[in-house]
Amino acid sequence: MILLAFDTAQGALSAAVHDGEGEIASAFEARTRGHAEALMPMVEVVLAEAALGFSDLDALAVTVGPGTFTGLRVGLAAARGIALSRGLPLVGVTTLEAVAEPVAAEADETILASFDARRDEVYMQAFSANRTPQTAPLLVNLGDVAAHLPHSPFVLAGTGSELVAARLAAAGLDCRMAECRPQPDAAIVARIALRRLGEQGPDAFRTAPAPLYIRAPDAKLPGGRDPDEAT
């Protein structure tokens, strides 16, 4: 199965092609803006590197959040458009799952994925060492981080790790930093998506995934209307 995955949700842009056995081509760059202009050129580059076209794809995957409102819209709109035009299954993967996936953890450790959400808050989710979710994706005030977590050693991943580490240390909880990228990577997204396709089958992903915002978008239209209310 040939799968194309991409991520525009946080502070990076990435795309990857996977054939079910291994990564064929990928690209990653740190980027906080300009995702809309740079996404499709990057997709074209990785497809060309893999010597493939859109007609060769069997499935797609995209990150669904939490992340920036604009970034999520860019990635989801592009993924939905390609999936609809080619009749492809589309797998949504959260950014928290994506940063937790490559973390190496001991059996007694909890993986804590987090992103700096500004305003003294973090998006976070706890996972067992085998990546089973221990909490739902949460938006938490920094002062309340420890109250939402089990009492065990933690391995921290994501851009919120330093903020979270300070709060865990103050609560007397042990933690260490993971040795992996703090941003989601499409190569990891592809790996998660292929596993789900194998477990559930392509037909489970014929409906486009919804964005996971957690926090309501900051952007407002004239008159104070939320962008999602526009017609």
What pLDDT was estimated at residue 226? 44
Task: Give the integer Cα–Cα distance in Å for 203 and 183.
Answer: 29
Q: CB–CB of 72/116 below 8 Å? A: no
What token pair was written down for 103?
Answer: 């973390």
Q: Which helix (DSSP H) or strand (DSSP E) does residue 26 occupy?
A: strand 23-30
CA–CA separation, 68 and 72 (whole Å): 6
Region 90-116 average pLDDT: 97
Which among 209, 227, 186 has a CA at the least distance from the CA of 79?
209
47 touches 54 (CB < 8 A): yes
Res. 222: pLDDT tops 90: no
Q: In sequence order, what are the residues at sequence separation of 6 or more whose Cβ sits closer than 8 angstroms to the Cβ of residue 150?
A: 110, 126, 134
pLDDT digits (tens, 9 = 90+) for 11-53: 999 999 999 999 999 999 999 999 999 999 999 999 999 999 9
Q: Is 231 helix (H, G, I), strand (E, B) or coil?
A: coil
Q: Is 64 exposed, middle or buried (0-12, 13-18, 19+ CB in 10 A)?
A: buried
Same CATH topology for 3-96+183-229 and 103-177? yes
- Tokens found for residue 40: 């499709």
Q: Does domain 3-96+183-229 have CATH number 3.30.420.40?
A: yes
> Which pLDDT band holds residue 216 (cuts at 50, 70, 90)?
low
Spell out the residues 6+ positions from residue 191 whose beta carbon is closer than 8 angstroms to its own.
18, 101
Domain map (residue ranges) of the chain: 3-96+183-229, 103-177
Distance, CA of 57 to CA of 209 (rounded, Å)? 18
User: Which CATH class name applies to 103-177?
Assistant: alpha beta
Neighbours of 13 (CB within 10 A): 25
**How confident is residue 152, by pLDDT bands cut at 50, 70 and 90?**
confident
Element (H, E) at 110: strand 110-116
